[in-house]
Amino acid sequence: MKHLLTVTTVIEAGVGLALLVVPSVVIQLLLGAEISGAAVPLGRVAGTALLALGVACWLARSDVQGRAASGVVAAMLLYNFGVVVILGAAGISSQTVSIALRLAVILHSAMAVWCVTSLLAARRPRLIDNATSTRR
């Protein structure tokens, strides 16, 4: 789980910073569309949220056995699944799909699978410990 949290920190904090600084460039690369008006501050809000997710992952990586780390990974699973659905739908409805959009969908799909496997692996020792303690 520690590697998952570290990788997520790098990816999400990096994209978050990019959205904070140059939201129009990130959106242009991802969706091939220009943004203006209210979309610019909304892009920056999304950047702040991604940066916050990166910080939460960074802090949770040192306590992977705790419930807080599992909670962060569960939240990341929801986030990654949501991104796959939203960006996948955007790609399906678009005439032209950028390579960045395809890569984002693939990356978030892989990250969602990694989250599931990490949550299941973290749960397994607890189930074994509970079964052992009830036999005593």
Give domain limits for the chain: 2-131
Model pLDDT for residues 25-80, shown as the tens digit of each residue: 999 999 888 999 999 999 999 999 999 999 999 999 998 888 889 999 999 999 99
Model pLDDT for residues 72-110, shown as the tens digit of each residue: 999 999 999 999 999 999 888 877 778 999 999 999 999
CA-to-CA distance for 108 and 99, rounded, in angstroms? Answer: 14
45: helix, coil or strand?
helix
Query: Is 58 within 8 Å of 75 (Cβ atoms)?
Result: no
Burial of 135 (0-12, 13-18, 19+ CB in 10 A): exposed
